[in-house]
Amino acid sequence: MSTTTAEQWGYADPSSVAAYQAPAVDESARVSDGYQRISTETALRMGRLQAWYDVRSSLPLVVADMAMAASAAALAAAAGHWAGESVPAWFVLGVVAMTLLLQHSQSLYPACGTTYSIEFRRVLKSCFLVCAGTAIGLLFAAHSSALPWTCWIVLCITLTLLLSIIRPIVRRLLATSTWWTQPVLVIGSGERAARLFDRLQQTRNEGLRPVGIVFDQLTHWTSSLKSGNSIRSTSHAQNQWQNSAMARAIVDRAGSDQKLHIGPISALEEILGDAKACRVVVADANRQDMRSFQSFHGIPHVTVPVQWDHYPTESVRIVEADGQIEMHCRTNLTCPHALLAKRWMDLLLVVSTSPIWVPVILLIGLMIRVFDPGPVFYRQMRVGRYRQPFLAIKFRSMVCDADQKLAAYLDAHPELRAEWAGTHKLKNDPRITRLGAFLRKTSLDELPQLLNVLVGEMSLVGPRPIIDCGDYDREYIEQHPKVFRMYQMVRPGITGLWQVSGRNGTSYQQRIHFDRIYLHNWTLGMDIFILWRTIKTAIFREGAC
């Protein structure tokens, strides 16, 4: 197999691109058009290399988790001794051992390709099991003496906080190091492959690092160059120009801090060897041969796309029965125990934090009265569970004559009518008061909706409440009836997946997409994760208008 040089492709920096030509392929080794079987020798070599990658990626996380668990256990033991409690000698070592064992059982080492949302919920589950196991151990060790409650409570709080906060920071710091991230090749052609490359590049904290693109010579490639030219491979000369354009486009996206490997699918085995990659991610979802695992048999990790946009993704199980592959989906939206637990969590959190938010509501109400005389609250009819209307309460953040001021403003600026018609929002809304702008940026304007939660009209977490009035949210109701049917099965939420995923920086279609993901995959753990993320979103004002 021959490797071309970057100069032959017309690329300026030969050290940053490894380009490949299609090799002569033995027909007996061909799987389908353009594909070549991975040899047994190469497959076994990649298996050994993948095992080393997993150890190398896991070790820093194991050390970090060990340090966090030991710190939490030491603090808990110190608190127990301070309170005059008897803490067994095995306490610190036992907590560390249980933490590492349960983190491993939750597939958190090395957890490459695991999103922050899933990692957080797995860590939460590990912490719960560690605390439960520790409680049982302390109970047996206590004998006639009292259970060291102070020690146990401090452990539960510190272990959960340290692992939830420090672990993502450690992964983000490690993502800057090439040795920690595992190399992955993107297989596909066109802008779809380039977008997948971008996503992997932007989420290196998940432990994966894109090192190149393997393309299909027979398909159309649209480059991301400024000229926007579309290039089709029809001759050797055009091939060279196409590869040159592709190399420049991908290197421009990725930066020049790493060597990229770009070549045809027929040179996949050679590219895998040169890039020392044991993972491939397929971008083309529309081609059957690209979605077939058999085409890439022998590669340790293969990710293939599936068209599951309207199915649950986190609670799904793939099983083989009677010679067929079955997909088992489960939803919690109809589970009475899960819904009851969600309601109890809402009430527990709202009531227990009332000494904090009640004085804040009183203070903000007083400020509105002083700086902008008029009603303190703004009530708007929204669609609730079972499509029952309810009045959502918010702090008034606009002037009292908001409707008249909006009409006059749009008459004076007709170019903004399209923006208002599309989103019913204006980036520079003249109706918003100074205090109202602050309340919106900090999301404090929605604090009174805790009263809606108390009476059962809303939940802390859920899809954003929609408006069934005039042309408000008509697209949601009429064009996405399946999502709207699921929406009616739950209480709308003060916060939700949309609010912590970009909020006003996203489009209306993306908002509906986030609602679909939430409703398909809802669990109590997802609610806890969204509440956790809401704190960060509110502090840094992410996506606030």
Q: What is the pLDDT of residues 277-319, one digit of tens each?
A: 999 998 876 666 555 667 788 899 998 887 766 666 777 888 8
Spatial contact of 297 and 38, defined as CB atoms under 8 Å apart: yes
Query: Quick check: helix, strand or coil at residue 430?
Result: coil
Cα–Cα distance for residue pair 432/420, rounded to 1 Å = 15
Domain 182-217+259-332: CATH superfamily is NAD(P)-binding Rossmann-like Domain (3.40.50.720)
Beta pairing, strands 208-215 & 260-264: parallel
Task: Choose between 476 and 120: higher pLDDT.
Answer: 120
Question: Does residue 506 carry a pLDDT above 50?
Answer: yes
Region label for 432, one of left (φ > 0), alpha (ψ between -120 and 50) or beta (otherwise): beta
Separation of alpha carbons 127 and 255, rounded Å: 39
* Averaged pLDDT, 468-476: 78
Q: What pLDDT score was predicted for residue 291?
A: 56
11-20, 386-395, 445-454, 497-506: which range is least confident on average? 11-20
Half-sphere exposure of 404 (CA within 13 A, CB side): 3
Task: Place 526 in a pLDDT band, splitting at 50, 70 and 90.
Answer: very high
pLDDT of 162 higher than 80: yes
381-385, 464-468, 491-495: range with lowest mean pLDDT = 464-468
Average confidence score pLDDT of the chain: 83
pLDDT per position as a tens digit, 422-469: 666 777 788 888 898 899 888 899 999 999 999 999 999 999 999 887
Q: For position 215, what pLDDT does the model report?
A: 80
- % of the chain surpassing 70 pLDDT: 80
Report, as an integer, the average pLDDT of 5-14: 44
Q: Is the pLDDT of residue 9 over 70?
A: no
- In the chain, what are the domain boundaries? 41-176, 182-217+259-332, 337-397+432-540
Residue 479 is predicted with a pLDDT of 87
CB under 8 A, 24+ apart: contacts of 107-112: 108/61, 108/65, 109/54, 109/58, 109/61, 109/62, 110/53, 110/54, 110/57, 110/58, 110/61, 110/182, 110/207, 111/61, 111/206, 111/207, 112/54, 112/57, 112/182, 112/206, 112/207, 112/208, 112/279
Q: Give the type of residue at 211.
A: V
pTM metric for this prediction? 0.83
**For position 275, what pLDDT does the model report?**
92
pLDDT in tens, 352-362: 999 999 999 99
> Which phi and psi (to 5°) does residue 432 adopt?
-80, 130
